[in-house]
Structure 1
Amino acid sequence: MSTNGNGNGHAHTHGNDYTVPTPRKDWIVNRKAEAARTGDTNMSQMHFARKGLVTEEMSYVAHREKLAPEFIRDEIAKGTMIIPANINHPELEPMCIGVGSLCKINANIGNSALSSNVDEELRKLHTAVHYGADTVMDLSTGGDIPMIREQIIRHSPVPIGTVPLYEALSRVKRVEDLNIDLYMEVLEEQAQQGVDYFTIHAGVLIQYVPMVSKRITGIVSRGGAILAQWMTANHKQNFLYENFDRITKLMAKYDVSYSLGDGLRPGSVADASDEAQFAELKTLGELTRQAWKDDVQVMIEGPGHVPMDKIKEQVDKEVELCDGAPFYVLGPLVTDIAPGYDHITSAIGAAMIGWHGAAMLCYVTPKEHLGLPNEKDVKDGIIAYKIAAHAADIARHRPGARDRDDAISHARYTFDWDKQFALSLDPDTARSMHDETLPDDYYKEAAFCSMCGPKFCSMNWSSKVDEYNEQVHGLKKADLTQIVTEQMALRG
């Protein structure tokens, strides 16, 4: 996998002959040495930001985002932005998640007890990163989970997230046998490997479980359902909630970020915005402030399945209850009727919620509700969500967000086909679709495509109007564009 940015040139080679750059290697060595010298074991980016320091990761992110390093530092100090960057993940190219930056996307990979293997998961990782995933979650639930995760982390230039509860459950015979000591053992092992963020469902409380009885689809989060079963079987409060401070201190030591899981997220549009969802969200806000006391970074997970008219409310509630911690949402799907096409039903909601202020969008693949995604499903999900995130950035007027759109539009108007392909999200697909009907190289310079042909191409005719305006009125196209822009500004 290629790397981007301004890290150093260290690299190491793994048994499968991949050479993986390690841009953070020297930064991490120096930081660990400083911690040993001072005795301060809190390695989190928030901890350094609150001391007024700009870390190498912050500078790297600032360069990528075209923002001031001090702005990145201040956002992290406030908790409205995170840089998930475990000190044991030297292969990472640091990135940020926060509403003050570009909208990000996450891709879920990982095997199940019934399907997939490590080579397949590495192919999925490569596909996800190649097509633009900003982070990847390994949700493996079967086979040699630690080995699969180790391979994914060692080959990943993007942050890796996990749900540690899955591995903890794989080590016991029954759900009710789960306990905090086993869970902490799993957390420590994953943190030592280099996992950058943990989804932890600490907000699913025993008093909220009866609220889901009114729902059509009950509890659809795997983590939420596991913990609900544990609580009702043991008649005890959620052990993750009860031991939250203990978990937080471990995460500070490795700079693992919280992704506070929405275990009671709605699994159908009928269940959106109900009392169970918002009760849990209020608790997640309380836990966020608790984690911030120890300078641990936090983002909040969100739904799910939400009709379009309730999407803005989801963001407003999260900002209100969680003090603006970055909102990381799954979709949301805006209708439930399209299994096989839920990358589309969810991308509609993702674009909207990104526009309203979500910081990261978790992709949904065409296989959602149907089976384990394969490599093609991963690609289809990534492309759908890159479109959604990009559309959100344009609507949020992020600096430079529209530059690529303007460039491809200019190439389209001037019939520069090769440039159009190069600027597209998926150049190979764009080129192959064009070439299905006009394969000869001659048509790469033609002023038409097979949709309209040479006689009915609107842009071809429009270019002739441009020539008339220049000859008769002395107006070049750039001048016309400026006039129209000024007129629109005057109209308000």
Structure 2
Amino acid sequence: MEFTTQMDAAKKGIVTKEMEKVAKKEKMEVEELRSLVAEGKVAIPANKNHKSLDPEAIGEGLRTKINVNLGISKDCPSIDAELEKVQTAIDMKAEAIMDLSSFGKTEEFRKRLVDMSPAMIGTVPIYDAVGFYDKELKDITAQEFLDVVEKHGKDGVDFVTIHAGINGETAEVFKRNKRITNIVSRGGSLMYAWMELNGKENPFFEHYDKLLDICEKYDITLSLGDACRPGCISDATDASQVKELMVLGELTLRAWERNVQVMIEGPGHMAINEIEANMVLEKKLCHGAPFYVLGPIVTDIAPGYDHITSAIGGAIAASHGADFLCYVTPAEHLRLPNLEDMKEGIIASKIAAHAGDIAKGVKGAKNVDNEMSRRRQKLDWKGMFELAIDPEKAQRYRAESMPEHEDSCTMCGKMCSMRNMNKVMEGKDINILREDE
């Protein structure tokens, strides 16, 4: 039996090779996974032209995945530098990489990225439109926006962020409800500006069926962008954000009717006490579609440390149902991240994702923590490093300050609780002051 997309196959009862691989990774029965894909509660972004892909799934009951943002800009246009980051992100087992290139002819970088990456690849086609056509934003036509999406589909992009929810109605709600930071989504601000400059409806909303034609053709997953995500905690959960979310819920159903997979993008900056309610709201209004969050960043006063503010919010969001975390680096709000910034962002995001998985009871999530605890109890340093999220840093810290006795560390020395409890439990004497072992 033939099928057009992963969702089409799932609805027809077909188990694809991508479903088989994902089910094995997730330790899930493949029929359960297929059912979730058919319902739209799980997405498997897998463009037919992405030949190097090692598929992953995003959604209900699965491990929380992380995304790494990369790409060239006018001020930092080095393709080689970005490709070094790509390889590092792949080595660090990021499940997704988004190419946010926003300068010049980005096709070379995008194609090389797709060719080399087993991780799923995402893009924001509106970023590429200005450079692709060498036109000012106002002069780009609706058809030209759609043609850029098609080009990304041909190139093998697995998911695209499309800001279709900032339609005329949402724009009016935004105008009536003042914010401190207005529209902070880069793609969302570009689309709003295009609408205002041309006095026209959002072309991705107006021609949504044509967009779905493209997505169905290549099996591109639609990541419905949150143009009105809050850019500060004061703007969170306001009328603009909620109005757009309602529109995205309607667009989700229309996409599923065409067997196009959907993810919903979410906040943004948000106080800790609002995160749980936002996760419930998204899942309710968007019919259980996978939720993809940037952060949330839980305070606005930590430039240079926003990988931490984001990890705090990400862990809480994941514990309450967020399925996909977009990493944030220490360079957020300041500059294009360098390689070390990227590494710190990945580690922080992986910690948040894993903490969320433990809280929401993902199958097997606690196993590695329990094994780490057993190795700590045994003072098995090599074994601990093998399980660490960042073994390189853990080994370097220990090597920089070696204790007199190798079964302890320089914090506690012979007062180490693990060392002394092991001795006592074995019926041995404890020697804190004496020189003998």
TM-score range, shorter chain: over 0.9
Return the alpha-carbon distance in structure 2 between the equivalents of residues 313 and 396 of structure 1.
16
Q: Give the match for residue 209 of structure 1.
A: 171
Which of 267, 286, 292 pairs up with 1:322?
286
Note the alpha carbon deviations across 1:364-414, whole angstroms, 9 max, x for none.
000000000111111000000100000011111112111111111111111
Note the alpha carbon deviations across 1:434-470, whole angstroms, 9 max, x for none.
010118xx96xx221010112x11111211332249x
1:465 aligned onto 2:424 = yes
Return the alpha-carbon distance in structure 1 between the equivalents of residues 130 and 207 of structure 2.
18
Q: Give the match for residue 293 of structure 1.
A: 257
- Deviation of the 1:415 alpha carbon: 0.9
Q: Secondary structure at the match of 1:273?
A: coil
Residues 1:364 and 1:209: Cα distance change in structure 2 (over 3 Å): same
Q: Do the aligned partners of 1:103 and 1:361 also contact (CA within 8 Å) in 2?
A: yes
Q: Give the match for residue 182 of structure 2.
A: 218
Q: RMSD across aligned C-alpha pairs, in angstroms?
A: 1.4
Q: Give the match for residue 196 of structure 1.
A: 158
Q: Give the match for residue 30 of structure 2.
A: 69
- Deviation of the 1:206 alpha carbon: 2.3
Q: Do the aligned partners of 2:173 and 2:243 also contact (CA within 8 Å) in 1?
A: no
Q: Give the match for residue 89 of structure 1.
A: 50
- Deviation of the 1:89 alpha carbon: 0.5
Q: Give the match for residue 364 of structure 1.
A: 328
**Aligned 1:88-107 pairs, distance under 5 A:** 88-107=49-68
Q: Give the match for residue 477 of structure 1.
A: none
**Aligned 1:473-484 pairs, distance under 5 A:** none
**Aligned 1:82-481 pairs, distance under 5 A:** 82-170=43-131, 171-213=133-175, 214-438=178-402, 446-454=406-414, 456-468=415-427
Note the alpha carbon deviations across 1:254-302, whole angstroms, 9 max, x for none.
1100000001100000000000000000000000000001000000000
Return the alpha-carbon distance in structure 2 between the equivalents of residues 343 and 283 of structure 1.
30
Q: Secondary structure at the match of 2:413?
A: coil
Return the alpha-carbon distance in structure 1 between the equivalents of residues 134 and 189 of structure 2.
16
Q: Secondary structure at the match of 1:241?
A: helix
Q: Normalized against structure 1, the TM-score is what?
A: 0.84
Give the aligned residue type for 2:196: T
Return the alpha-carbon distance in structure 1 between the equivalents of residues 77 and 315 of structure 2.
31
Return the alpha-carbon distance in structure 1 between the equivalents of residues 360 and 105 of structure 2.
43
Q: Normalized against structure 2, the TM-score is what?
A: 0.95
Return the alpha-carbon distance in structure 2 between the equivalents of residues 300 and 169 of structure 1.
25
Give the aligned residue type for 2:333: H
Return the alpha-carbon distance in structure 2 between the equivalents of residues 319 and 44 of structure 1.
23
Q: Give the match for residue 40 of structure 2.
A: 79
Return the alpha-carbon distance in structure 1 between the equivalents of residues 181 and 234 of structure 2.
9
Q: Secondary structure at the match of 1:459?
A: helix
Q: Do the aligned partners of 1:206 and 1:228 also contact (CA within 8 Å) in 2?
A: no
Q: Do the aligned partners of 2:90 and 2:119 also contact (CA within 8 Å) in 1?
A: yes
Give the aligned residue type for 2:206: E
Q: Do the aligned partners of 1:311 and 1:353 also contact (CA within 8 Å) in 2?
A: yes
- Deviation of the 1:210 alpha carbon: 4.3
Give the aligned residue type for 2:75: L
Q: Secondary structure at the match of 1:126?
A: helix
Q: Where do 5+ consecutive residues of structure 1 fail to align?
A: 1-33, 36-41, 470-492
Q: Do the aligned partners of 2:142 and 2:203 also contact (CA within 8 Å) in 1?
A: yes
Q: Percent identity?
A: 48
Q: Where do 5+ consecutive residues of structure 2 fail to align?
A: 429-437
Mean CA deviation greater in 227-236 or 259-268: 227-236
Return the alpha-carbon distance in structure 2 between the equivalents of residues 139 and 285 of structure 1.
25
Q: Do the aligned partners of 2:106 and 2:128 also contact (CA within 8 Å) in 1?
A: yes
Displacement over 6 Å in runs of 4+: none
Mean CA deviation greater in 118-127 or 379-388: 118-127
Return the alpha-carbon distance in structure 2 between the equivalents of residues 140 and 404 of structure 1.
36
Q: Do the aligned partners of 1:206 and 1:232 also contact (CA within 8 Å) in 2?
A: no
- Deviation of the 1:172 alpha carbon: 4.4
Note the alpha carbon deviations across 1:306-355, whole angstroms, 9 max, x for none.
10000011111111110000000000000000000000001000000000
